[in-house]
Amino acid sequence: MPMKRTQLYIENDLYDALAKEAAREKRAVSDLVREFLARELSIRKLKEAARGAELLLRLSRFAAEGPADLATRGEDYLLEDL
């Protein structure tokens, strides 16, 4: 996979912890940084998808339990909180 070179400024304590972990795993610090960044971005993407799913679930509940005229006045209900 092609890579882009970058430079980071991190606190000494954080670098020391990364270097210690990298040595323990016999890996490069940069390899660990890439792994941690990829994992965090993946977690954030999953959380965003979960928020979207939660919104859809809430909307479906509103549609099922909401007002009887939701089909004809749905736009009014959406806009009333603006």
Rounded CA-CA distance 29/17 in Å is 10
Predicted confidence (pLDDT) per residue in 43-75, tens digit: 999 888 888 887 777 777 777 777 777 778 877
29 lies in some domain: yes
63 lies in some domain: yes
Predicted confidence (pLDDT) per residue in 27-45, tens digit: 999 999 999 999 999 999 9
72 lies in some domain: yes
Rounded CA-CA distance 63/70 in Å is 7
Q: In the chain, at which residue ranges do the beta strands (DSSP E only) sit?
A: none
The candidate with the shortest Cα–Cα distance to 30, out of 17, 18, 16, is: 18
48 lies in some domain: yes
Total tally of structural domains belonging to the chain: 1
Q: Which pair of tokens denotes residue 37?
A: 């960044």
Q: What is the pTM of this model?
A: 0.62
**In the chain, % of residues over pLDDT 90:** 52
7 lies in some domain: no
What is the DSSP code (8-state) at residue 66? S
